[in-house]
Structure 1
Amino acid sequence: MSPRHRPWEEAADFQIGLRPIAVADWLEGGEADPAARKDPLYEHARDLVWAERPGSEAGQAEALAMVEGALGPAPAAPGLPALYAAARRTPDDLCLMEKADGQWRLTALSLSAGGFFTASEAIGKSLGELHGPVTGFADRFLIRVQRVFEGLRPDLVLERRNWTVLNSDRLHTPSSAPIRARIPGIDPRDAGRILHLRVERQTLRRLPATGGALFTIRVWLAPLADLAGEPERLAAFARAWRAATPDLRAYKRFDLYDDLVEAFLRDPQPA
């Protein structure tokens, strides 16, 4: 699942960064059998990876129809919620946003690659509440994001990308505590192997019949050491890491990894 995208080459600050893409490019694929990864989590850790609110069924069904329109129809096990039936077809996590009480709220989600949050924590939250941890989001971006949701056309697919560094090679990371507790034990000589680039490619589409919006999150992972053999990519990463704004550094907790990343940059050994 090595990243296809390099968002660290584009900005050193948190950006909305939404751009239109072709409908044919909506879902990237790249995982042979997403259900093999997602189904055990849905079965054994459901509160972490799945949640829905009453009344979201029509929006879920439309999201499933949209995914089937892109990937083709496929039989699903009976009794599955429609959004989860859609999510097990694609590597992406799927989030259904619908407007209620004047706010865009998360009404159903399949979250098998969530980064430091869970489905049960996120369900029902508004756009502002979901982005609360992003420093300055309410002042700088909330109104703009709300306008994007309001003006989203049925024939438009929007895409954005972001990135971070973690000492984990797992897609499903619901809690930061066990991951960050391991940081002091990392040998700086192993930083390139243990630290991973975690890239999220996100898309947004209108559900024309029900009026909601489907937000997708595709996570790509690769060891930092993968950059060692490509000097231009390595230099771009080093510039982005060192130029990151205080707000971005605080939100991503880059301070926890500074010494390890700099150790890798001084001696970038391949994996």
Structure 2
Amino acid sequence: MTLGFSVDSLLPKARGGGQLRMGLVRLTEGEWLQPDPDIAAREQGFAAFPEGVQLTDEAREPGRELAAMLGVDGALPEAARARHEDMCLLARTEGEDVYRLIGAAVAWPSDWHPADKIGLPLRALHAPIQGYEEHLATGVDRFMATLKPGAIYGRCNWFIAPSEQGRWLAGDDPAAQFANVSADNAGETLFVRSERQTLRRLPRTGAILFTIGIYVAPLASLSRGNIERLARAAQQLLSGEGDRRGAPAYAASLASYAGIECAP
């Protein structure tokens, strides 16, 4: 099983509702990154969101190693500008067992600010995600510690957003953001985001590269099966996670549009 490069192809492999899971699949080198990035869009994305680049001193050498691996002059920011994917570097600080975010080059974040996350360990990075500590933290820590150079793993997720823009910063009031959504127009007013994430260890420095490829599509453009899958998943998110994603503001309209019964 591999991962595609579109919302429709990614959604069947993404987690639905309920308990969190890593859901990793092994990827080949040819399946790692999108083969035809829109470089102009990447340049525009970084120009509009300069705070998306956050670097510590520890990111310098891994960034150069990554750029050389991709045939790019420079370091982490140049590597991310030359590919479709946003890119983050994680490494263990001397004397610690935990991995920290040491560098980020993110043009199209899904409701997070790299400046708030730089330097944090994995568990603190994921603290806002309901259920991460209980269901995922130990497994993620073990995976990171044992990941070997040469191996590439991928996973994907989904979000419902009120905008088709690559950069999505949700804000504080989901009810206001989704106020214009109804059962009749949900296909055109709800946009589905999927992050195609990959993980691999850089062989020389040992840092771990985390890539995030963002794909966005209007709900109406998706297959009927994916629309129904999303409608059910939106109602099954863990308590607290649905609120974080704004699901109460759109779940009923999405269910009605999909033709399934809305949970009470």
- So what's the TM-score if we normalise by structure 1? 0.83
Q: C-alpha distance in 2, partners of 1:8/1:255? A: 24
Partner of residue 22 from structure 2, selected from 16, 20, 23:
16
Query: Is it true that 1:234 corresponds to 2:227 in the alignment?
Result: yes
Q: C-alpha distance in 2, partners of 1:10/1:135? A: 14
Partner of residue 90 from structure 2, selected from 71, 94, 97:
97
Q: Describe the SS at the equivalent of 1:116.
A: coil
Cα offset, 1:30, TM superposition: 4.5
Q: 1:109 to 1:97 in 2, by over 3 A?
A: same
Query: Is it true that 1:131 corresponds to 2:137 in the alignment?
Result: no
Q: 1:208 to 1:28 in 2, by over 3 A?
A: same
Query: Is it true that 1:207 corresponds to 2:202 in the alignment?
Result: yes
- CA-to-aligned-CA distance 1:145-171 (integer Å, 9 cap, x gap): 111111000021011111121111011
Q: Describe the SS at the equivalent of 1:203.
A: strand
What RMSD over aligned residues (CA atoms) do the two structures have, in Å? 2.4
Q: 1:232 to 1:178 in 2, by over 3 A?
A: closer
Cα offset, 1:179, TM superposition: 6.9
Query: Is it true that 1:252 corresponds to 2:245 in the alignment?
Result: yes
Structure 2: unaligned runs, 5 residues or longer:
none
Query: Is it true that 1:59 corresponds to 2:65 in the alignment?
Result: no
Length, aligned pairs only: 252
Using the aligned pairs only, state the percent identity: 26
Q: 1:175 to 1:50 in 2, by over 3 A?
A: farther
Q: Describe the SS at the equivalent of 2:17.
A: coil
Cα offset, 1:262, TM superposition: 2.4
Partner of residue 5 from structure 1, selected from 2, 5, 10:
10
Q: C-alpha distance in 2, partners of 1:240/1:152? A: 30
Q: 1:182 to 1:259 in 2, by over 3 A?
A: same
Structure 1: unaligned runs, 5 residues or longer:
none
Task: Answer yes or no: is the 8 Å Cα contact 1:7–1:163 preserved in 2.
Answer: no
- CA-to-aligned-CA distance 1:245-268 (integer Å, 9 cap, x gap): 43542443311211321232249x
Q: C-alpha distance in 2, partners of 1:40/1:178? A: 27
- So what's the TM-score if we normalise by structure 2? 0.85
- CA-to-aligned-CA distance 1:201-239 (integer Å, 9 cap, x gap): 100000111111000001111111113xx4433333334
| More displaced stretch, 244-253 vs 200-209 | 244-253
1:175-214 equivalence runs, <5 A: 175-177=170-172, 181-214=176-209
Give the letter aligned to residue 136 of structure 1: G
Task: Answer yes or no: is the 8 Å Cα contact 1:106–1:126 preserved in 2.
Answer: yes
Give the letter aligned to residue 63 of structure 1: L
- CA-to-aligned-CA distance 1:128-149 (integer Å, 9 cap, x gap): 0110011121222212111111
| More displaced stretch, 170-179 vs 135-144 | 170-179
Q: C-alpha distance in 2, partners of 1:153/1:124? A: 23
1:80-119 equivalence runs, <5 A: 82-100=75-93, 101-102=95-96, 103-119=98-114
Q: C-alpha distance in 1, partners of 2:35/2:247? A: 29
Q: C-alpha distance in 1, partners of 2:204/2:14? A: 38
Cα offset, 1:180, TM superposition: 5.7
